[in-house]
Structure 1
């Protein structure tokens, strides 16, 4: 791929974002490695708890994505003070949502885990992890909002430094609490919560300092917070459809297995595969982060030609990055299982699943880039409708496939890779080829007609 001038800007934003995003799933990877030594049942319990926790936090990813787009637009338009004012509103919104989500999550932890029907042993371990982990919801949401502000300001380095330090602290705490103090699976959750609090404080301090420097108000502004909430509704729907697809995928794994020990093996292998998939998704998403920041800034500056040029370039970056991650995953697939668990049955299940996942990486690279471009453009309504269409197509097919295959884990991942990612690719390519998302200045496409 011949180098172009915009490559330097993409690399400046994407490389620190890549390292920061790669560090984020290491929270779960560290938990999986440490908890996996406790046995297959705790590892399977982590899989259920992680699905619930990632859904709760994932629904609020608009706090990062929406804030990145709005802050970048104002930055491109030359209004740095206004950009930081919107960022502070996002922080207050994160605190408000986090408080409500924590209370509801802790109260409903048992029933939520029970929805998966994973058996008494696995469910008990899942609840033991989930209840303390949910106390980190508010810090996590504040981290999302603060990270979004900094990305919108074209700063991806600060989130990197905080992510690396926080992940290192998480590993140390988890080892000490799980094995040193013998707290079991709950110790891993407490270690993550403590690390998340520290990371939230660090990121918020940086944003507040920048706001003070530009004279942006720090007090909560009701109208600004409500505006940020309304702007995030479409992205919540978009994220809800993505999380629902992942929940349906995990539920599909539980179908067809009548023996609890066989189900625990499938769930443990699925959890490891999904964690690795998420890790690679964050790696590929680093270019999408650059896409959000650059698209917002270019459109804020009313540079449509530059927006198109950078978008085309980032699509190429996404495609080739997917080829590389897919090849690496395929090569490493036989040795990844033993890093997390000593269960040979889990190892056997995992290899085939990872090979299927590797084949889907090039398409995933393009999907994540286009997702970032449209988020940066404020095209949330289209993303919401596209997510609904994708879910409607995918959900019945994956449930039908696993039933027809007698509960085969591999069948679930074949449908996930081919149908779910394929449908997302088609929906995003269709939009990117048009003109409707290219809204310039401080305008937003969130009020545009649904497709």
Structure 2
């Protein structure tokens, strides 16, 4: 593995963008593999932000105070959830991909050994009379064999470890948010006498009850990505978010629960998603390890703590931005919430390419297939650049009109129009930054990913505090552009 990575260091960094660029959109085996993972995966990632956008749209028609309050609560919930689960998901995808590749290699070797039995020896065991009977019932035997293979569940220790850690972290997150919601919201700039405090507190506490389901679902999505199956998480997430969209107006307007109704609908949908994923996973993986010694806590914690430092640094920048917007008042915060959710939802399309690259790279390194690893890195970066440019164009055309779906308040719309250029123009930067992350994770380069992000965050935090103080709402978005640009260059430098 080190040998393959060492060879890559002799090339100029720009070469990765132009390597076989003429083949970037060729529908070959590698292109099909990347798109087969990336497209369903990106849609699954998009589903939850889209559900949050639907929540935002419904709440926006209640009033700007409620919209701003929910925006702060969502920022808090996402920050804590990402800190808790993102390191686990990232290492799970790499570890499962590696273990699955090695397991498949072992199975292939065993099958080759079994087929080494001479055909002539087998023919001697079958009389001519039996031969016709064997042929006539071979279809049934083949079907039975396929059923047995499908029902044979794999033993991948990383899966059991990830699920156990995800469940424990989910329970801890619920306790933290329920017991500390008020002081956390105060830190975010929502003072006790603010009109936003009551709805923000209601939404955050109720949403926290769904944390175990959220973290378990994300851990299982990491497992499925490692298995290169992103369709199952997509189906489960779309089904759950459909439930959320149906229940939102019922709880909010029919039962008159307001923002509490949005939180309740979201929690129900998350448990529904977790149930579907768990049911499907147990059909393919033996979820109970043979013994506790097979659990890989040491391996997970070593790499997980590196990524924990990274995700704290990364999400702190976004959460600090939301906090600075909240300090400007409910109207700027409401506009920031709409722009931020749109910004993140679109950027997550690139995350689909990121973990497609991660899964394929991890498998390639496990098999020591370094040419495929290099080709995969180049291809996903080329896809990311084109995707970012397309998103910039689409958002530039549609976001100004589409913003009226979220609110009719003219002051909120004015602030949204200020944020639109930043949301649009940063899409290529965001896409490349996310894909560089996936490449580093696929190569198990968790150390560099952590240290570089901490340095980026230090510079970005200074920019956010300084620019927000001098330029208000516009300054916050300028600082976010600087933050994502630094993330991209950190990945490029490696």
TM-score (norm 2): 0.82
Q: CA deviation at 1:66?
A: 1.2
Paired with 1:254 and 1:101, the residues of 2 have a C-alpha distance of 23
Paired with 1:238 and 1:125, the residues of 2 have a C-alpha distance of 31
Give the corresponding residue for 2:308. 236
Q: Secondary structure at the match of 2:103?
A: coil
Paired with 2:239 and 2:419, the residues of 1 have a C-alpha distance of 32
Paired with 2:331 and 2:169, the residues of 1 have a C-alpha distance of 36
Give the corresponding residue for 2:370. 304
Q: CA RMSD in A?
A: 1.8
For these two proteins, the number of residue pairs brought into alignment is: 420
Give the corresponding residue for 1:47. 71
**1:10 partnered with 2:84:** no
Q: Secondary structure at the match of 2:285?
A: helix
TM-score (norm 1): 0.89
Q: CA deviation at 1:82?
A: 7.5
Q: Secondary structure at the match of 1:210?
A: coil
Tell me, yes or no, if the aligned pair for 2:467 and 2:478 is still in contact at 8 Å: no
In the TM superposition, what are the counterparts of 1:216-255 in structure 2 within 5 Å? Answer: 217=289, 223-255=295-327
**1:292 partnered with 2:358:** yes
Q: CA deviation at 1:2?
A: 4.2
Consecutive unaligned residues of structure 1, counting only runs of 5 or more, are: 258-262, 432-451
Higher alpha-carbon deviation: 265-274 or 221-230 = 221-230
Give the corresponding residue for 2:59. 35
Selected match of 1:113 from 163, 172, 185: 185
What do residues 158-197 of structure 1 show as CA deviations (whole Å, max 9, x unaligned)?
0010011000001111111111100110111111111101
Tell me, yes or no, if the aligned pair for 1:337 and 1:346 is still in contact at 8 Å: no
Paired with 1:219 and 1:194, the residues of 2 have a C-alpha distance of 33
Q: CA deviation at 1:99?
A: 1.2
Give the corresponding residue for 1:373. 439
**1:87 partnered with 2:112:** no
Higher alpha-carbon deviation: 18-27 or 362-371 = 18-27
Consecutive unaligned residues of structure 2, counting only runs of 5 or more, are: 1-23, 108-152
Tell me, yes or no, if the aligned pair for 1:366 and 1:425 is still in contact at 8 Å: yes
Q: Secondary structure at the match of 2:361?
A: helix
Q: CA 1:83–1:58 in structure 2 vs 1: closer, same or farther (change >3 Å)?
A: farther
Paired with 2:293 and 2:171, the residues of 1 have a C-alpha distance of 18
What do residues 181-220 of structure 1 show as CA deviations (whole Å, max 9, x unaligned)?
00110111111111101111111122222123xx962776
Paired with 1:18 and 1:423, the residues of 2 have a C-alpha distance of 23
Paired with 1:29 and 1:219, the residues of 2 have a C-alpha distance of 44
**1:411 partnered with 2:411:** no
Q: Secondary structure at the match of 2:333?
A: helix
Tell me, yes or no, if the aligned pair for 2:155 and 2:285 is still in contact at 8 Å: no
Larger Rg: 2
Paired with 1:159 and 1:306, the residues of 2 have a C-alpha distance of 26
What do residues 372-394 of structure 1 show as CA deviations (whole Å, max 9, x unaligned)?
11112221111111110001111
Selected match of 1:75 from 88, 93, 100: 100
